Amino acid sequence: MTVDFKAEIDKRRNEMMEDLFNLLAINSERDDTKVDKDHPFGPGPVEALEHFLAMAERDGYQTRNIDNYAGDFEFGQGDETLGIFAHLDVVPAGTGWNTDPYQPVIKDGKLYARGSSDDKGPTLAAYYALKIIKDLGLPISKKVRFVLGTDEESGWGDMAYYFAHPDVQKPDFGFAPDAEFPIINGEKGNITEYLHFAGDNQGDVVLHHFTGGLRENMVPESATAIISGQISLEELQDKLSVFLAAHPQISGSVMTKDHRFTVQIIGKAAHGSTPEEGLNGATYLALFLNQFTLAGPAQAFVQLTADILHDDFAGHKLGVAHEDTKMGSLSVNAGVFNFEESSSDNTIALNFRYPQGTDSASIKAGLEKLSGVEKVTISEHEHTPHYVPIDDPLVATLLSVYEKQTGLKGYEQIIGGGTFGRLLERGVAFGAMFPDYENTMHQANEFVDVEELYRAAAIYAEAIYELIK
C-alpha cells in the first residue's frame, strides 16, 4: 500500500500544533522540593504525563500510568514490539529568554518554548506519525508501544521504575525521537563524578559563597560568588572591567552589601554533551577570582576550576583524556558548583561522556590525583557505551526512509548525549533535528522550526510503518 505521509501530516497540521502548544505550556521541570509519593519528580512532570495520556485516550488508545513515573499505550498486534521512547520533562528554563519559556510563540517560522526541541516537539511528531497509521487502518504485523518518561533530564529514575514494574516487558527494538537525523546508533558512556573540598576557609580575600549551574548535563550559564576582605569596591570594579575587556564574549557585575561583594559572571548555556558550545559562567568566574589571595578549600576550589576545568573539554588537564577510533574522545562538562564557607563538604559536579576503552573507575582514579581535592565520589546513575551496528535491520530501515524522504545520504553517528534509545539492546535515537540545524537544546530561546517538525513527523510515520507492516 502506498501512502503519501507528507500529505497526511499536512491534513493534521492545525490539530498537531494545538496539541503541542498545550503541552509546551506545562512547566514540567523536575522540582525536588515538591516531591512526594504521588509526585516522584515534582508536580510538573506529573501534570505533563497526565495531559499526554488524556490526549491519547481522546484518540482511542488504552493508556497506563505507572505510578506517575512513566506512562505508555500500545497499538496493533504481533509477536514483536516496536518501542518509541519519549520524555515529557524539561531542563530548567534558566534566564536570558526573549519570550516566556512556557508561553509558546511562533516567530519567523520558529516555535519558541522550553521543550520545543527537547523533547515535546519531537514527541508530538512521533505521536502524530503513529496516529496516521492508526487512523488509516494500515495493515501491520507488530505491536507499537509508545512510552513517556518524566525524568530523562536528570537520573532516569522514571525508566528504572518503569522496567521494574511487574507488568512491563522490554520491547524488542525501538527508537527515541530525541536527537538528530539521519540516526544516532551509538552513544558514549555517561557518568557524573563529584570533587569534594573541605577545610578552613582563610586568606586576604575570603570566599563566602560560590554557586553555578542548574543541572549536571547543562553548561552553567551564570555563576555568583560572595567575597570580602582586603579589597575595595573600586578596585574590584576596575579588575572586573579589565577581565571583561579581555573576555568580551561574557558579561559580569559587582554589587556590595554589608561589606561583602557579590560578583556575577554570565556566559552561555549549552547541552552538557557539547560543553565546547557554551561559555561556562562558573569557570570564568573562578578565572576572575583566581587573581586574589585565597586560602584553604576556597583556594583549592577556585584554583582547580580556573587552572584545570576552564576550557578543558576533553579532560587533558584533568588527566582523564581518552579517545576511541569509533566513538571519538571523552568530553567533560563542569556542570554544578556549590561552595559555602560554613560547609565542610563543597562540591563540583563533573559530567563525563566517555567512549569505549575507559570507564567510571578509571576516571575516578585520575581525579583522585588532583591537588586540593579531599575525595571523589561517583553518581549511582551511569550509562555505559552503547552501539547498534549500521547493518542491523532497524538502523538500515530508518536510514532508508530518511534517504527516501530527504534525498540526502544517510550515515551512522555516535554522540556524547544520552537518549532513551540506549534502553534497548537494539535501540537508537532518530531525529528530529536535521543536519546543519541550529541546536538550542538546554539553552535560552530554545526553538523548533515548525516546517522541519512537520517534515520529521512524515519521516516518523513512514519509518514506523516500514518497521511494523
Q: Which of 89, 172, 193, 449 is catalytic?
A: 89
Q: In terms of domains, do 228 and 334 share one?
A: yes
Amino acid 156: pLDDT:
94
Confidence of residue 41 (pLDDT cuts 50, 70, 90): very high
CB 109 within 8 A of CB 451: yes
Grid-cell match 539492546, residue found: 425
CA–CA separation, 448 vs 453, rounded Å? 7
Q: What is the CATH number of the domain that holds 367?
A: 3.30.70.360
* pLDDT 10s digits, 112-157: 999 999 999 999 999 999 999 999 999 999 999 999 999 999 889 9
* pLDDT confidence tier of residue 453, bands split at 50, 70 and 90: very high
Instruction: Give the count of domains, the chain.
Output: 2
Last residue within a domain, chosen from 329, 353, 382: 382
Catalytic site includes residue 172? no
What is the arithmetic mean of pLDDT over 34-46?
Answer: 98
Residues 253 and 341 grouped into a single domain: yes
* Mean of pLDDT values over 454-468: 98
pLDDT at 438 (0 to 100):
92
Domain boundary among 366, 382, 398: 382
Q: Do 395 and 362 share a structural domain?
A: no
Q: 397-432: buried (b, 16+ CB within 10 Å) or exposed (e) per residue?
A: ebbebbeebeeeebebbbbbbbbbbbbbebbbbbbb
Q: What angle do CA 331, 332, 336 make, to 5 degrees?
A: 155
pLDDT digits (tens, 9 = 90+) for 156-182: 999 999 999 999 999 999 999 999 999
- Do 184 and 199 lie in one domain? The reply is no
Q: What is the pLDDT of residues 243-258, one digit of tens each?
A: 999 999 999 999 999 8
253 close to 223: Cβ distance less than 8 angstroms: no
Mean local confidence (pLDDT), 178-204: 91
Q: Do 364 and 389 sit in the same domain of this protein?
A: no
- Domain of residue 84 covers 5-188+385-468
- pLDDT at position 198, please? 86
- Which has more confidence, 295 or 314? 314
Same domain, 197 and 327: yes
- Interval 49-68: pLDDT, tens: 999 999 999 999 999 999 99
User: pLDDT at residue 408 above 80?
Assistant: yes
Q: At what angle do helices 450-468 and 13-24 cross, to 10 degrees?
A: 110
What is the pLDDT at residue 455?
Answer: 98
Assess whether pLDDT exceeds 80 at residue 200.
no
Per-residue pLDDT tens digits for 325-379: 999 999 999 999 999 998 888 999 999 999 999 999 999 999 999 999 999 999 9
Residue 268 pLDDT more than 90?
A: yes
Please, what is the average pLDDT of the chain? Answer: 96
* Strand pairing report for 110-112 and 447-449: antiparallel
The pLDDT value recorded for residue 418 is 85
Does 432 sit behind a cis peptide bond, omega within 30 degrees of 0 on the bond before it? yes
What pLDDT is attached to residue 344? 86
Residues 176 and 225 reside in one and the same domain: no
- In this prediction, residue 342 carries a pLDDT of 85
**What pLDDT score does 381 carry?**
85
Task: Specify whether 61 is located in the same domain as 141.
Answer: yes
Which of 363, 382, 401 is the last residue in one of the domains?
382
Quick one: pLDDT at residue 201? 73
Within this chain, do residues 335 and 431 fall inside the same structural domain, yes or no? no
Catalytic residue, chosen from 152, 172, 193, 452, is: 152
CATH of the domain at 52: 3.40.630.10
pTM: 0.82
Quickly tell me which residue has 586568606 as its cell: 203
Structure confidence by residue, pLDDT tens digits, 77-112:
999 999 999 999 999 998 899 999 999 999 999 999
* Whether residues 390 and 378 fall in one domain: no
3-state secondary structure the chain: CCCCHHHHHHHCHHHHHHHHHHHHCCCCECCHHHCECCEECEHHHHHHHHHHHHHHHHCCCCEEEECCCEEEEEECCCCCEEEEEEECCECCCCCCCCCCCCCCEEECCEEECCCCCCCHHHHHHHHHHHHHHHHHCCCCCCEEEEEEECCCCCCCHHHHHHHHCCCCCCCCEEEECCEECCCECEECEEEEEEEEECCCCCECEEEEEEEECCCCCECCCEEEEEEEECCCHHHHHHHHHHHHHHCCCCEEEEEEECCEEEEEEECECCECCCHHHCECHHHHHHHHHCCCCECHHHHHHHHHHHHHHCCCCCCCCCCCCCEECCCEECEEEEEEEEEECCCCCEEEEEEEEECCCCCHHHHHHHHCCCCCCCEEEEEEEEECCEECCCCCHHHHHHHHHHHHHHCCCCCCCEECCCCHHHHCCCEEECCEECCCCCCCCCCCCCEEEHHHHHHHHHHHHHHHHHHHC
- Are residues 222 and 125 part of one domain? no
Q: Which residue has the cell 538546554?
A: 442
Average pLDDT over residues 188-217: 91
137 and 42, same domain (yes or no): yes
* pLDDT at res. 320: 98
CA 14 to chain CA mean position, Å? 28
